[in-house]
Amino acid sequence: MSKQINVALIGNPNTGKTSVFNALTGLNQKVGNYPGITVEKKEGVCKLPRGVKAHIIDLPGTYSLNASSLDENVVIELLLNKNDKDFPDVAVVVSDVENLKRNLLLFTQIKDLEIPTILVINMADRMRYKGISLDIPYLEAQLQTKIALMSTRKKEGIETLKNLLSNYKDIPVSACINPSDIDKDYFESLQKAFPNQLLYKLWLVITQDVNFGKTDRNEIEAVANFKTKSKADLKRLQQRETVKRYQFINNVLKKGQTIDIAQAKDLRSKLDRVLTHKFWGYIIFFIILLTIFQAIYDWSSVPMDFIDSTFAFFSEWTKNHLPEGAFTNLLAEGIIPGLGGIVIFIPQIAFLFLFISVLEESGYMSRVVFLMDRVMRRFGLSGKSVVPLISGTACAIPAIMATRNIESWKERLITILVTPFTTCSARLPVYLIIISLIIPEGRFLGLGYQALTLMFLYLIGFATAVISAYILNKILKIKSKTFFVVEMPNYKLPLFKNVALTVVEKTKSFVFGAGKIILAISIVLWFLASYGPGEKFNNAEEIVKTEYASQQFTEEEINQHIASYKLEHSYIGITGQAIEPIIRPLGYDWKIGIAIVSSFAAREVFVGTLATIYSVGSDDEATIKNRMAAEVNPILGGPLFNFASGISLLLFYAFAMQCMSTLAVVKRETNSWKWPILQLFIMSGFAYIVALIAFQVLK
Amino acid sequence: MQHTIADLKRGERAIILDVSSIHIPLKLLEMGCLPGNSVELVQLAPFKDPMYLNINGTHLAIRKETAMHILIEKET
């Protein structure tokens, strides 16, 4: 008989919890969201001995059950709600051997909820370097649990954990701390009021702001009235609880763990001396950023050229080999170029995610938080704002969610408001194609001009974010208590499996998420560009032929003229020309205008849109880039994408708020429409003005 | 005179005496910042803020404004 058990993975940040999750589930995992909130929910399936299947949830990392963020709330909400379909049959607390004492705090809290709990002591391969030895049977007896000593790096201990999971019923469910030891009178009267409830659970309900399942809500609300103590008193009790827990842990570890400091080899302090140095720390950070941008450019140029020409070939092949008709045209002129416009950016986006996940996995990101805090505070931000601002280079949506661990509301709000200025991966396609059209290929001090331009655009985005933060900090009158605690984890060589899974997962969601929108828009655009109202569109052939009858044109040239005449009088041409007056001062024609309008669904649509419009308007086989290079400015003559209009377009995309999903997330995170609407109008208005000035000065 | 963590110099060690100030977040206590534990100042960012500490084996960074409220006894 096969049955399924629920397993919850819980642990402090930086304990390798996700590595344990990856080791258990491999590729059998999916990432979604908790209903109603944007906290990432990771779950997977693992086969245990004797045909038992385990459904595993990787809960967000937390230092304790006293939640201070939305992510941490998820943990306590699940653990307090027995009716949740994911309520664990067994909890696995993942700890790091070097920080066992601190990790055990969370362990004792979970244990006190009387859920069967297994302790994983991870990174066991580092024990020898640190001179740590553990008396496992003693620890198991004292903590009343089963322990799996693991090293996900060396792939050790996974089978032990699986065996423990399948025998979870043998694990005692007794508590570690008796709440009455914290304050006898208070807790005894609490227990008297609710004799059937677990005391620690009641205590958590009183001290935490969490929602619970409908079934025991009434009960809980009655409990919530039991706030006989002031906030300050409650906090004093929480402090006392923490002290009690550490006393218990210290007693256990006194005999269960010995550390021979003489044997400890300390790589971290050597690295920290350089990487967090007052001067060298910043230089190194800058060099790392520079290297990343150069690498994104250099490494991906070959696969990108290959993809570009492959799609051009496909498009041509479809036209030549499928029977003529509307469907073939839709395929060759709408869908294939539209898809090409997204697939081409996979190499770059994968490299970007690769670097970001390596920076986070290695522990370096925390050093950057440390280095930048003082600087960022000048601008009303926190050192922790650096993480959203850097991961905003991938996508503003997860970046805005990553602001949740910023403790001060004002610093957090400002970070949310300015993060969309950082150059997200959706801007990358636009930048890349325009840079390749208007910036020459040469090198300066070994760095390509094109890579330098890209780096410069990233810096502009970053600088605008910081400057607007400074202004917001002066304008916004919000008082909020600020504090700042950030753990500085050990340096670790990133695990290949973790990095690879992140890169695959994020790239996949970029391609499919954006891909769907792009595909839909390409199809709509193709229809709008291929059909038009009235005489002019339908009789295009005759009109053009009579017009050019007197001149000597080859048949090919005539066809070219017919195609562009048709496009001009198609639905899209008419719309585009209607908006052209607004964008002409920026140096764009109506085709770019259409691409900008469709970019409000998602910026990366820009290239695909142009690809679709241009391929409807032309016959020959050409890559997107060649087609753009061949466009002629209808009024000024010369290439449409020249230095002035190119720079203007780059700046427009750098500043404009063109992402509906970001606006939606900002609304959700700030709980108000005020902020996203302000973002939309101020950012886009600013973009228009800057692009206008740039074009008028440069032309 | 009462010393606080904000008075530490780089590489200096001390013992934590008192953390009862309301300006100290619970999270800090949960990470091991409790009376009796040792604290070492590992590194300072420019302008001596934030401070990179080693509290009983846990490495973390806090701002000076919080550090000012954690009373210590310097090792002599």
User: Each residue of A314-357: pLDDT tens digit?
Assistant: 888 888 888 888 888 888 877 887 777 778 778 877 887 888 88
Q: Confidence band (pLDDT; 50, 70, 90) for A263?
A: low
Is the pLDDT at A199 greater than 60? The verdict is: yes
A395, A424 contact by CB (below 8 A):
yes
* Distance of alpha carbon A242 from the chain centroid: 33
Burial category of A72 from C-beta neighbours within 10 Å (exposed 0-12, middle 13-18, buried 19 and up): buried
CB proximity A273 to B under 8 Å: yes
Give me the domains of chain B, ranges plus CATH numbers: 3-74 (2.30.30.90)
CB contact under 8 A, A488 and B19: no
Mean pLDDT along residues A155-176: 90
What's the DSSP call for residue A156? B
Which H, E and C letters describe A169-194, residue by residue?
HHCCCCCCCCHHHCCHHHHHHHHHHC
Among A444, A475, A506, give the residue marking a domain's end: A475
How close B49 comes to chain A (CA, Å)?
6
Which of A475, A496, A524 terminates a domain? The answer is A475
- pLDDT for A215: 42
- Look at residue A269 and tell me if it is in a domain: no
Q: Using DSSP, state whether A589 is helix, strand or coil.
A: coil
Is A485 a domain residue? no
Out of B34, B52, B66, the one facing A370 most closely (by C-beta) is: B52
B50 to A102: CB separation less than 8 angstroms, yes or no: no
Chain-chain contact of A276 with B63 (C-beta, under 8 angstroms): no
Residue A353 covered by a domain? yes
**pLDDT in the model for residue B70:** 94
Query: Among the ranges A102-111, A119-128, A258-267, A640-649, which has the highest mean pLDDT value?
Result: A102-111
Question: Whole domain around residue A303: which residue ranges?
Answer: 289-475
**A149 CA to centre of own chain:** 32
Residues in chain B: 76
Q: Quick one: average pLDDT of A642-657?
A: 92
Residues A431 and A465 in one domain: yes
Local confidence band at A178 (pLDDT 50, 70, 90 cut-offs) = confident
CB contact under 8 Å between A98 and B57, yes or no, is yes
CA distances from A446 to A126, A130, A559, A619 (A): 40, 42, 46, 40
d(CA A157, CA A155): 7
Contact between chains at A374 and B58 (C-beta distance less than 8 A): no
B68 vs A: CB within 8 A: no
Please, which residues bridge with residue A33 across strands?
A40
Percent of chain A residues topping a pLDDT of 70: 91
Q: Please list every residue in chain A whose beta carbon sits closer than 8 Å to the beta carbon of residue B28.
A: 483, 485
Does residue A482 lie in a domain region?
no
A622 domain residue, yes or no: yes
Give the pair of three-digit tokens for residue A503: 């890169």
Within a domain: A440 = yes
Looking at the fold, whether A202 and A294 belong to one and the same domain comes out as no
Look at B61 and A63 and tell me if their CB atoms are within 8 Å. no
Residue A413, token pair as written in the block: 């709000």
CB-CB contact of B62 with B28 (8 Å)? yes
Q: Does B31 touch chain A (CB under 8 A)?
A: yes
Please answer yes or no on whether A278 and B45 come within 8 Å at the CB atom: yes
Cα separation, A362 vs A492, in Å, equals 5
> Does B17 contact chain A (CB < 8 Å)?
no
Residue A363 φ then ψ, to 5° = 95, -5
The whole-angstrom distance between A647's CA and the closest CA on chain B is: 37
What does the alpha-carbon distance between residue A646 and residue A321 come to, in Å, rounded to a whole number? Answer: 37
Helices (H), A15-99: 17-25, 70-80
Query: In chain B, what residues touch A98 (CB-CB under 8 Å)?
Result: 57
- Structure confidence at residue A688 (pLDDT): 95
Let me know how long chain A is.
Answer: 699
Q: Which of A345, A351, A234 shows the shortest CA–CA distance to A292?
A: A351
Q: Alpha-carbon distance A460 to A423, whole Å?
A: 9
- Residues 449-488 of chain A with CB under 8 A from chain B are 482-488
Give a yes or no: residue A509 inside a domain. Answer: no
Query: Which pLDDT score, from 0 to 100, does residue A1 have?
Result: 41
What is the pLDDT, as a whole number, of residue A190?
Answer: 81
Tell me which chain B residues have a C-beta less than 8 angstroms from the C-beta of A102: 30-32, 57-58
User: Average pLDDT, stretch A280-290?
Assistant: 90
Out of B19, B42, B60, whose CB is closest to A485?
B60
Closest CB from A99, A232, A276 relative to B43: A276
pLDDT value for A213 = 46
Residue A696 has pLDDT above 90, yes or no: yes
B9 touches chain A (CB under 8 A): no
Decide: residue A479, CB within 10 A, 0-12 exposed, 13-18 middle, 19+ buried: exposed
pLDDT at residue A87, as a whole number: 92
Tokens found for residue A357: 């996940």
pLDDT in tens, A1-49: 457 899 999 999 888 898 899 999 887 777 776 666 667 788 999 999 8
Residue A491 contacts B, CB cutoff 8 Å: no
Same domain, A368 and A420: yes
Q: Do the domain assignments include residue A481?
A: no
- Model pLDDT, residue A218: 55
Q: Are residues A254 and A111 in the same domain?
A: yes
* pLDDT average, residue stretch A375-391: 88
By the 8 A CB rule, do A377 and A535 touch? no
Taking 80 as the threshold, does the pLDDT of residue A262 lie above it?
Answer: no
Query: Is pTM beyond 0.80 here?
Result: no
A373 part of contact set with chain B, CB < 8 Å? yes
Residue where a domain stops, chosen among A198, A229, A263: A263
Give me the residue from A68, A273, A490 closest to B27, CB to CB: A68
Same domain, A448 and A547: no
Calculate mean pLDDT across residues A453-464.
90
Residue type, A71: D
DSSP3 helix / strand / coil % (chain B, rounded to 5): 20, 40, 40
Q: How far is the C-alpha of A318 from the C-alpha of A313, rounded, in Å?
A: 9
The residue assigned the tokens 């290239």 is A607
Checking if the pLDDT of A621 tops 60, the result is no
What pLDDT is stored for residue A58 in this prediction? Answer: 92
Which residues 6+ apart lie within 8 Å of A200 measured at CB? A109, A112, A113, A175, A177, A179
Q: What pLDDT sits at residue A37?
A: 63
Nearest to B46 among A273, A278, A487 (CB): A278
Predicted confidence band at A619 (pLDDT cuts at 50, 70, 90)?
Answer: low
Instruction: Provide, as residue numbers in chain B, all residues whose Cβ is less than 8 Å from the Cβ of A371.
Output: 45
Residue B69's SS3 state is: coil
> Does residue A293 share a domain with residue A241?
no
Position with higher pLDDT, A443 vs A293? A443
A213 and A294 in a single domain? The answer is: no
Which residues, other chains included, contact A179 with Cβ-Cβ below 8 Å and sequence gap of 6+? A187, A199, A200, A203, A241
Both structure tokens of A176: 């570690």
What integer is the mean pLDDT of A472-495? 85
Identify the CATH number of the domain in which residue A158 sits.
Answer: 3.40.50.300
Locate the chain A residue with the closest alpha carbon to B54: A488
Contacts with B30 from chain A: Cβ below 8 Å = 63-64, 66, 102, 105, 242
pLDDT above 60: residue A224: no
B1: contact with A, CB 8 A cutoff: no
Buried-state track A30-55, b at ≥16 Cβ within 10 A, e below 16? eeeebeebbbebbbbebebeeebebb
Q: What are phi and psi of A578, to 5 degrees?
A: -65, -35
Rounded average pLDDT over A183-206: 83
All residues of chain B having their beta carbon less than 8 Å from the beta carbon of residue A235 are 22, 26
Supply φ then ψ for residue A413, to 5 degrees. -60, -45
Q: Which pLDDT does position A234 carry in this prediction?
A: 83
A408-427 as b/e: b if 16+ CB within 10 A: bebbbbbbbbbbbbbbbbbb
pLDDT digits (tens, 9 = 90+) for A431-442: 988 898 888 888
A190 lies in the same domain as A229: yes
Cβ atoms of A151 and A125 closer than 8 Å = yes
Pair A200, A104 in one domain: yes
DSSP-assigned states of every residue in A619-641: -S---HHHHHHH-B-TTT-SBSS
Are A155 and A65 found together in one domain? Answer: yes
Q: What percent of chain B has pLDDT over 90?
A: 58
Edge to edge, the sheet with strand A90-96 lists: A29-33, A40-47, A53-58, A4-11, A90-96, A117-122, A146-149
Inter-chain CB proximity A373 and B50 less than 8 Å: yes
A592 plus A639 within the same structural domain: yes
**Neighbouring C-beta atoms of residue A456, cutoff 10 Å:** 12
Tokens 């469709």, residue located: A598
Q: What is the DSSP string of A473-538?
A: HHH---------EEE-PPP-PPPHHHHHHHHHHHHHHHHHHHHHHHHHHHHHHHHHHH---HHHHH
Same structural domain, A217 and A301: no
What mean pLDDT, rounded, does chain A reach?
Answer: 84
Q: What is the pLDDT of residue A202?
A: 83
Mean pLDDT of A128-151: 91
A649 CB contacts (<8 Å, ≥6 apart)? A430, A434, A586, A587, A588, A592, A641, A691
In contact, B5 and B65? CB cutoff 8 Å: no
Q: How distant is the Cα of A102 from the closest Cα of chain B, in angstroms? A: 6
Q: Find the Cα–Cα–Cα–Cα dihedral A27, A103, A241, A135, rounded to 10°.
A: 120
Q: Structural domain tally of chain A?
A: 3
Report how far residue B67's alpha carbon sits from residue A317's, in angstroms, rounded to the nearest whole number: 69
Mean pLDDT, residues B28-35 taken together = 90
Q: What is the pLDDT of residues A581-614, one digit of tens each?
A: 999 899 898 888 888 887 876 787 788 778 777 7
